[in-house]
Structure 1
Amino acid sequence: MGPIRGNRKRKRADKKAEENGYGSAASERSLDWWDDFSRRLHEGGHQSPSKSLDKFELIFRISRKTFTYICSLVREDLTSKSREFTFLNGRLLSLHDQVAVALRRLGTGDSLAAVADSFGLNHSTVSQVTWRFVEALEQRALHHLRWPSTELEMAEIKSKFQKLQGLPNCCGVVDTTHITMLLSTSDPTSNVWLDREKNYSMVLQAIVDPEMRFLDIVTGWPGNMEDWVVFQSSTFHKLCENGERLNGKKVQQLSKEGSSEIREYIIGDSGFPLLPYLMVPYDKELSESRAEFNKRHLGTRVVAQRALARLKETWKIIRGQMWRPDRHRMPRFILVCCLLHNIAIDMQDEVQAAIPLSDEHDSGYTQQICGSVEVKGAEMRDELSLYLSQRRLP
């Protein structure tokens, strides 16, 4: 099943949830679970009492409907394995309990001990439950993060981008952010992860649609790798170079100087190369038309900045400095946080939609400059600039 967009595909998600035993009746069971769960935590001294119906949303930062859908995705994996987890009082963790523990760990970024204390668990149980959840969601939710596979899907993305700032035939925005870590300075292998700002970090590169949904991600590279190197090492770049991506319909644009064809492309900041399918801003000799292009380019690029900021704000395990993480597992944690981000968008989660938007996602990091220019890329950027200079925003 592809990403859920609009009411029609949202209904498909609801149907899937019902088929897995998590439909409207399941929502009531979820409510019963939460009431019972809250009472047990309070009685155990692990949580202060609250009569607020919003307590669930405050803790998990997603709606109950989204929580229920996530449970439906991982249900088989979290209930079919023989290992049974228990609270300190001996009570078995249910499916909902396990998902709650994992989401709390991913959402707060608190230490294993802190999460364990808040739930009345052993810290090793928190670790095992969270990893089991990560493995399950990674397998079951990949359909929520993929490049559009039909002309109709891509046409919808292009239309929304054009409505933002007038860029025709734009298919996405690429940006990168750093996931910082706390590593031991006595470990010689730690130096691999030391970036130019003297932080230990891992890079996340994301291509985003107009609704801040991740369409493609790359992670796992050390934070000292420059943005353009990460991009050119990606499968996405290879597909574009081979003509297998961003090779859809060209659009004919008319200007005072004549007509031109605009191919599909994405946009990015100055840390990326100027390519026929990747438009970056002008950096010098800013005529009026070039300044206008840069203005609209930045106004469109902000969707990726906001997407990465919301990702880190909601799933705080990747916002702060992770304490000596397993660098083999860390990319999978990052992927799952991206999947959860997309699921909330696909489910039209009202709790996530209410979170104030920010475009600050990489505080302390200066803008990188690539400077690499391909002739055909420069020609297309000039054509776009000329076209935009003659079109007013609606």
Structure 2
Amino acid sequence: MDIENIINEIDYYDDIDHYDDILWPDRVRLPKVYIRDAQDPFQTPIESFKIRFRFCQDSVIYITNLIRVHLQKVDNRGLPIAPEIAVLLTLRFYATASFQIVCGDLTKVSQPTASNIITKVSRLLAQLHRRYIKFPEGAEANINRELFKELGRHGRWPGLPGIEGAIDCTHVKIVSTPACEHHEVYRNRKCDFSINVQVTVGPRTEILDIVARWAGSMHDSRIFQMSALYMKYTQGMLTGRLVGDSGYPALPFVLTPIRPEPEDPPSIRYNRAQIKTRNIVERTFGIWKRRFPCLSRGLGNKLVTVSNIIVACAVLHNISLQLNDDMSFNPTQPDDEPEAMENVAANTRDGFLLRQFLIENYFQ
């Protein structure tokens, strides 16, 4: 049968592969390559699963369902990655801070694909921050204030009243030189490149507010004064108080310790209550960075992706508290000393008056 007759009879062949065999009888057919899971990771024992991904299986399904619609493809072209596999790959990266090629090998995908997945999942999780990172309202806010008061209690002396958050900053290391024109602004006082992350936490280690966009050289108090949280307090949208270290100015809504160390008993008792209340933010940093080691070992992604990863880990931290999916960690000691105060444009007089009022009425 010649080629012309075969072409004329093509419509009579239902099996196109059979037609190919007739047209090119000596052709060697290569098998198609498909991505196949060697095993189902969800069948791993729960303890081993949590060590590898920082969440139990049910929590991973819950997290996947939050962003599933944005991970699914409308067709099967290009052998798409299942949403569960994409989330597991990203969680493994957060849990190990390993090279993306290693995380990709674990799920049988290439390094570029792994990079795209981590970038996309991190962005989607970070976009959930308004839902999972926020100050409580109503009765829940009053409960938080009472819990903070109990945190600062010492013997018969009460804790600080009206506290609704503890604020501090922590550095997330950038392992490579940032790809921007003025990259030296990201070098902190320890000579490492980093992002200075402002975090406000509640009495149960929940994250209430996070700012993850400022360079490592930026001072803690300056980040606070340029944040939306500062504006909410100055405009009366939030009516409680924060506790912070000596790197923050004394304001009507920020209680700071007395420096240098006081000698009179009422001031000593105030300092003790303030430090005990503020310690919750250091404990949160320890739990947060132990659960997601990428935050302590450093990130080599693009700057925008680094910020998304930091916020995504904060969202995941709060989700773990809501789902009661905890891990037994011994919080690490704080790695950041309080920064020296700089000259800031803030009304500290009212803050000093408030602090003196509390000392005279609560700690005499």
The normalised TM-score by structure 1 is 0.75
- Contact 2:166 2:244 (C-alpha < 8 Å) held by counterparts: yes
- Contact 1:172 1:208 (C-alpha < 8 Å) held by counterparts: yes
Partner of 1:98: 86
State the one-letter code of the partner of 1:167. Answer: L
Give the Cα–Cα distance (whole angstroms) in 2 for the partners of residues 84 and 141 of structure 1. Answer: 32
- 1:304 and 2:278 matched: no
Say which of 244, 247, 250 aligns to 1:274.
250
Partner of 1:252: none
Equivalences for residues 358-369 of structure 1 within 5 A: 358-360=332-334, 363=335, 365-369=336-340
Distance apart, 1:293 and its partner CA: 1.1
Give the Cα–Cα distance (whole angstroms) in 2 for the partners of residues 97 and 168 of structure 1. Answer: 47
Say which of 143, 154, 162 aligns to 2:141.
154
- Contact 1:84 1:93 (C-alpha < 8 Å) held by counterparts: no
- 1:74 and 2:67 matched: yes
Instruction: Provide, for residues 358-390 of structure 1, a one-character-per-residue CA deviation record: whole Å limited to 9, x for no partner.
Output: 342xx3x43212276712111111122233325
Distance change in 2, residues 1:198/1:169 (3 Å): same
State the one-letter code of the partner of 1:39. Answer: Q
Equivalences for residues 234-245 of structure 1 within 5 A: 234-245=227-238
State the one-letter code of the partner of 1:224. Answer: S
- 1:355 and 2:329 matched: yes
The normalised TM-score by structure 2 is 0.80
Distance apart, 1:137 and its partner CA: 1.9
Give the Cα–Cα distance (whole angstroms) in 2 for the partners of residues 334 and 186 of structure 1. Answer: 18
Q: Which moved more, 1:152-161 or 1:313-322?
A: 313-322
- 1:64 and 2:57 matched: yes
Instruction: Provide, for residues 35-83 of structure 1, a one-character-per-residue CA deviation record: whole Å limited to 9, x for no partner.
Output: x967368xxxxxxxx9754211111122223212101111111114558
Distance apart, 1:186 and its partner CA: 10
Consecutive unaligned residues of structure 1, counting only runs of 5 or more, are 1-35, 42-49, 87-91, 247-263
Partner of 1:329: 305
Say which of 340, 357, 370 aligns to 2:341.
370
State the one-letter code of the partner of 2:213. Answer: G
State the one-letter code of the partner of 1:370. Answer: M
Q: How many residues align?
A: 318
Instruction: Provide, for residues 10-32 of structure 1, a one-character-per-residue CA deviation record: whole Å limited to 9, x for no partner.
Output: xxxxxxxxxxxxxxxxxxxxxxx
Give the Cα–Cα distance (whole angstroms) in 1 for the partners of residues 77 and 169 of structure 2. Answer: 39
Give the Cα–Cα distance (whole angstroms) in 1 for the partners of residues 282 and 235 of structure 2. Answer: 28
Partner of 2:10: none
- Contact 1:183 1:190 (C-alpha < 8 Å) held by counterparts: no
State the one-letter code of the partner of 2:288. Answer: L
Partner of 2:241: 265
Structure showing greater Rg:
2
Distance change in 2, residues 1:367/1:237 (3 Å): same
Q: CA RMSD in A?
A: 2.4
State the one-letter code of the partner of 1:180. Answer: K
State the one-letter code of the partner of 2:106. Answer: S
Distance apart, 1:229 and its partner CA: 0.6
Distance change in 2, residues 1:377/1:313 (3 Å): same
Consecutive unaligned residues of structure 2, counting only runs of 5 or more, are 1-35, 153-158
